[in-house]
Structure 1
Amino acid sequence: MPQQFTKSTYRSICDELGQMDADFAKVIDLYGYPPFWSRPNTFESLVHIILEQQVSLASALSALNKLRERVQEITPARILLLTDAEMRECYCSRQKTAYIKYLAEAIIAGQINLEAFAQMEDEDIRRQLIALKGIGNWTVDVYVMFALQHTDVFPVGDLAIVNSIKRLKALPKETTKEELGLIAEQWKPYRTVASMLLWHYYLSDRKKT
């Protein structure tokens, strides 16, 4: 079973990363520790992450809240009762409506078992989820990081992470994702928490400017 971080180990891992990489020590000195970002391991959390694909966090949350208003509790069965028009009224695009319904159907059919994921390796989870239309590596990365608290995930497809590393380490704009992945190798086995520090830096530095 993959290593997990908890509220009680989170800050000590941040400190260890600060010892591994002076730039992280600087982030902690400047902005404090990152929030303990987590979500429950539920269908709703995966729906939320799908809604966050390629849009602002605020607009994804608006859509999630609209869905909550409509069905009270976001479950696979309740989502499948909604028409596409009703999903559209909840700010869900045609594509994301299809992705969310595919996921709901897979869970009801027993093809996907979120509880079982809690005991599984990252790559086994990734293989099962990526088989579903509309779920790619970024969605799996965020789910495994936030809902399962696996310690060593690096979401190289996340634009904020990419920009944050480039800014923090004063790298040229044309630095490739492959090169960033190599830099992240030095943060093993804590690349998830390193990513939390990078998001924290990105959000805090943006507020400052």
Structure 2
Amino acid sequence: MPALTRKHHLAAVNALAARDRDLGIIVARHGPPPFRARPAGFETLVHIILEQQVSLASAKATLDKLSVRLPEFTPAAYLRLEDEALRSAGVSRQKARYTRAVAAAIEDGTLPIAGLARRSDARARALLTALPGIGHWTADCYLMLALRRPDLWPIGDLALVKAIQTIKNLPERPDAMELDELGERYRPFRSVATQLYWHAYLNG
């Protein structure tokens, strides 16, 4: 599947804003969302794991500390880090286990991270979620941000769910079935719809 480009991202924003009045209001109030993309590879996957259940700022601070300890942010170099180096950077014991498992899987070929771009969404997700600590949220965020896949809908993302509740003026947080139903309206650009809701959440 072709990766989303900056040009296509803006075209998708405009198409979604025309299709859904609430998304149009987000664009009118806050402008189009930024084109969110990260380099594909090990460092970005570690970054997304660090973002699990913590603030974006906290995860970025931990990543920055790791980068100081890792002039070359490679799986092999990561595996050579002592546990104390990870702890002092702010990596929890659980996330240290998860990120080491990712590094080992890339090193032994279990996770062909460079080849994920050639896999379908479903196959790439299956390869990622086979590893400990990588659920659908982490896999979908990697596919969306690193591989720039256009049609991901990470319904486990709390910011997305909260934004939908607010923007759609719902009395309660929508459940998985309701989220899936809403997401169908946004195909084939659910990733861009997600970023519009994130945009509203971050600027709310």
How big is the shift at 1:177?
2.3
CA distance in 2, matches of 1:176, 1:107: 35
Where does residue 93 of structure 1 map in the other structure?
92
Match of 1:81 in 2: 80
Q: Measure the CA separation in 1 of the matches of 2:9 and 2:125.
A: 24
Question: 2: distance between equivalents of 1:101 and 1:152?
Answer: 29
- C-alpha contact 1:162 1:177 (8 A) present in aligned 2: no
**Deviation of the 1:174 alpha carbon:** 4.5
Aligned residues of 1:34 and 1:200 also touching (Cα < 8 A): yes
Change (3 A) 1:178 1:3: farther
Instruction: Give the RMSD, CA atoms, in angstroms.
Output: 0.9
In structure 2, the CA distance between the partners of 1:48 and 1:174, relative to structure 1 (3 Å rule), is closer
Structure 2 residue runs of 5 or longer lacking an equivalent are none
- CA displacement at 1:73 relative to structure 2: 2.2
Deviations 1:83-127 (A, max 9, x none): 111110110000000000000000000111122111110110111
Report the residue type matching 1:28 in the other structure: V
Secondary structure of the corresponding residue to residue 150 of structure 1: coil
Instruction: Name 1:62's counterpart in structure 2.
Output: 61
Task: Report the AA paired with residue 16 of structure 2.
Answer: L
Q: Does 1:198 align with 2:202?
A: no
Q: Deviations over 1:164-205 (max 9, x none)?
A: 011001012153122122111111111000000000011111
Instruction: Provide the residue aligned with 2:70 in structure 1.
Output: 71
- When structure 1 is superposed on structure 2, of 68-77 and 135-144 the one drifting more is 68-77
Are the equivalent residues in 2 in contact too, given 1:44–1:75 (CA < 8 A)? yes
Which segments of structure 1 move beyond 2 Å, counting only runs of 4 or more? none
1:104 corresponds to: 103
- Match for 1:26: what amino acid? I
Cα deviations across residues 8-62 of structure 1 (Å, max 9, x unaligned)?
A: 1111110000111011111111100001111010100000000000001111011
Number of positions where the alignment pairs a residue of Structure 1 with one of Structure 2: 204
Partner of 1:34: 33
- With 3-12 and 122-131 compared, the bigger mean Cα shift is at 3-12
Q: Does 1:6 align with 2:38?
A: no
Matching residue's letter, 1:31: H
CA distance in 2, matches of 1:3, 1:72: 32
- In structure 1, list runs of 5 or more residues that go unmatched: none
Q: Against the structure 1 CA distance between its residues 168 and 174, is the aligned structure 2 distance closer, same or farther, given a 3 Å change threshold?
A: closer
Which residue identity is paired with 1:119? R
The normalised TM-score by structure 2 is: 0.98
